[in-house]
Amino acid sequence: MSLEQIISEKLVASFKPLKLKVENESHHHSGHAGDDGSGESHWRIDITAEVFTGKSRVERQRMINQALAFELENSIHALAMTVKAPGD
C-alpha cells in the first residue's frame, strides 16, 4: 500500500471528511534536505470535516498530526495542510 493510501485511509477513518485531497509534493523537493529518495517524503493535505467545527487552526492541525503520528515519525519529512470545517 502506498503512503498516499495510508494517509488517506487514516484521515477518512479519523475524521470522516466531506472533502479530502492528499497530494505528494516530493518531486518538488528532490535532492533537498529531508528527501530520502522514496518519492514519498513531502505531502500536502486539504481536508474539510465536521469534527473541526469550533476548533482553532492549531487544534485542527494537532488532530491531523496525532492521526498521522506514526507516518510523521517514520516516513513524512514535511506536511503542509489546510484544515477546514464546513462553512470556513
40 vs 23, residue with greater confidence: 23
Q: Which three cell numbers stand for residue 48?
A: 474539510
Task: Enumerate the domain spans of the chain.
Answer: 3-84
Per residue in 32-79, pLDDT (tens digit) is 555 555 556 789 999 999 999 999 999 999 999 999 999 999 989 889
Domain spanning 3-84: CATH superfamily = BolA-like (3.30.300.90)
End-to-end CA distance of the chain: 32
In 1-88, where does DSSP find H-type helix?
3-15, 57-67, 69-74
| 1: DSSP letter | -
Q: How confident is the model at residue 30 (pLDDT cuts 50, 70, 90)?
A: low
Whether 27 has a pLDDT exceeding 90, the answer reads no
pTM for the whole structure: 0.85
